[in-house]
Structure 1
């Protein structure tokens, strides 16, 4: 895949920096290349559900942002993205020291892109998949 904007890395990092929810989660974005990103965040007990696992809503939030930013890296200058829909499969309880969502664009498009992501937990040095997402991301052209 090729980026349409040569400054895709800096614009993606700048956009991510404006997401207050990602700041709240202490999340960090890493860009592996056009159409491929990861978001890492540490375990924080304030984001757990009643059994001490990271809440499914937080899992979906991280996966959604990863999918959106993977698509965003392929957008032309002046364009933005918005999630149209997503499906999440929760594979195991979200427990661990830290987590990483890895997202890859499966089908880039002018108006609609399809992106897949997996959230991995790391506990005792072992990485395990926690959840997957398939998302449809819409291109928003500014007029």
Structure 2
């Protein structure tokens, strides 16, 4: 089933917000796909995001998963609102080894105040994806800055 595309306004709002994320810039993460209720992030492999065994570090894996879920929720929020993570849990299923990792946040339930997302992280090596982490997240919609 093909999901509708995010409107140009929603996509611009997501990208504007993402540009303000210091950690995502520091990690060199990037958004690769935006549709209503679903966002994909990619983080390329390099020594700065790995741990001592050359796997992607759990902190980097968790951070991109958290942000992917947050922006998935944000795609469904009205103008003049923002998103904050209330809690999330990540299960690390396998060492994240590959050229990059891809984090996918998918909205399970969008509410007036709280939204719940499913999080998945895949290691990508030679074009093949392997699920290396999954989790769940709760986010809160808060009032955005006054215009």
TM-score computed with the length of structure 2 as normaliser: 0.89
**What is the aligned partner in structure 2 of residue 25 from structure 1?**
27
Give 3-state SS (helix, strand or coil) of 2:16's partner.
helix
**What is the aligned partner in structure 1 of residue 140 from structure 2?**
138
User: Which of 46, 66, 79 in structure 2 is aligned with 1:44?
Assistant: 46
TM-score computed with the length of structure 1 as normaliser: 0.92
Aligned-residue offset at 1:30: 2.9
Note closer, same or farther for the CA distance 1:85–1:2 as it changes in structure 2 (3 Å cut): farther
Structure 2 unaligned spans of 5+:
none
User: Which of 94, 97, 104 in structure 2 is aligned with 1:95?
Assistant: 97
- The one-character-per-residue Cα deviations of 1:75-115 (angstroms, maximum 9, x if unpaired) are 11110000000010101001100111111100001100000
- The CA RMSD measured in Å over matched residues stands at 1.9
Over 6 Å off, 4+ runs: none
Instruction: List aligned pairs for 1:118-129, cutoff 5 A.
Output: 118-129=120-131
Aligned-residue offset at 1:6: 7.1
**What is the aligned partner in structure 1 of residue 63 from structure 2?**
61
Structure 1 unaligned spans of 5+:
none
Partner Cα distance (1:112, 1:66) in 2 = 16
